[in-house]
Structure 1
């Protein structure tokens, strides 16, 4: 009795080492097969026939010892008598009569008795383990019980490996979907979804930001001078040239409308945030000038008007939910954003207007020209405004 316990202990320990950290189904099949051959010295072949209809998607053909080329056990052993009997009885069986296997080239391989045992997980037959031994040999009682133990262990590992495969497939689908969606969502939302998905469930947080609004001057008048399709192509061409300068300065394009962009520069250092926003504004202005040159002498140039403000704002994901679904964006909201939008509305002739908060942090880097105090609609106090283009 002590010998049997010791042998089973060694068996479990050896198999545990073989299967440690293994999550790929074929590796499990190979490990179980190798252990079965060690448990049954007279084995000619051992395999696990997976009954899962999806098995072909997450396994590959194994090299069967009875054939001279790789064979998929999912098909070649399914109809063997021992397999069918074990499934019908839902318990391990041994067929002691001799048999044979015919290879594709017509060669016949003589075999001895065959043992088959269903691998049951939660009452369902996940697979069938089979062992064929040499002609004239017999299965011992010890071998039979060890094979049954092996089937139980294999079932748990195979189910875990399949679940791991399913999760991996789901992650791949999500990753592919995110890749396809990246052009349509702010970079910050894409990054959160990929790196910190739990962050999408968090509310907005108060953060230091610089906000840049870019609008097209006289946008509605463009439709009077050219077809709608041409206007859309022109605007898309201009805005596309702004993307690299914005990202280069660390900005995140938050919202796009027909004639404008909202860009957020989230930097805890106010001076750094103001500097990034102004750099992006000048780069955008330069890109617009290059695009205007390509329009030709007779075409009216496309002029931009920009406004920049700086301060604390509520920043984070915003979810708009409806009966048919929801949309998520990443935005900054509050007085800081509102003033940046008002400054862009006020700017004319390609001007860049900034608030006093921005002007104070860029002194010495760029010249600025006071436009005096302005009372904007919806604001209680007058705001001092500065231009970065002219006095």
Structure 2
């Protein structure tokens, strides 16, 4: 047996490592990565080493994806409880003796400085998928209540830091698992309607509720300012509304076909303050226009579609729920970023997948892609 293995050509041994990967998903991610490098070169070529670092981060994410893809879903399932527990304990450590930067306590020193909330982006769907797998065939309302508790504990700790953007991503990942596990529509519709009514009341009462000195109590002052700025960016055009206004100007000035590669004036004259991170979508829209934006959106839609196809074809409840929730993380990243840059959502500091600069977010994306590839491989093994 040993002799036979040694005689296998290197090509076949390497092929065994990638066999079962979802080809269409890998291809669209490659195209998005190329788009990210192109836009990053234009918006960040004069911004230190952003372009080179962005390429390095992509290579790291690709390596992580490749390694995680080799882990069978059964092994991922066994890691769910330990990773979730570790993540929550680290969040408690942040609350007790975390490191504060720019008014936010989000980091903790465990030999190296880490941001534990990032762990929960993957740990949360892992944990809830594990929980519903254990309850398969005997789900009761109490099981959904327990799942809600498992979700609200880390979300509450993350919001306390405060970090609304990460809390939103963790919440979306957890809610998607609960929804795909079979949450009944009669439990979904009332809070959705209540939220819509709340948004309507907020729009009507904007002039009085957003007046100076008004305390919303349930939100931090900076979070209140972000919502009020969304409703009326012109109330502080050179301050809190500057990002949104300049982002919309950049997107609008791009027109149908854009101003051309490296020709964006809003971008290169630095009217867009975060042009390589949160607001890179505005830089893309200015230089490549509506056509470029639509191509990018199409790429994200296809990536989400392939992720849901992998989820639908997954062999177990755990893998179906995990694949669907990881896919919805990608969707939430893209939707929230594009929405805040376009002025339809508050600015919450969520990067655009594969396009925005950011090492931590790229690691999370690599982990998510690795999980999807692992589940795709497991489907092929079951079929064979």
| TM over 0.5, shorter chain | no
Higher helix share: 2
- State the TM-score, normalizing by the size of structure 1: 0.19
Higher strand share: 1
- State the TM-score, normalizing by the size of structure 2: 0.20
Query: Relative CO higher for 1 or 2, CA cutoff 8 Å, sep ≥ 6?
Result: 2
Structure possessing the higher radius of gyration over alpha carbons: 1
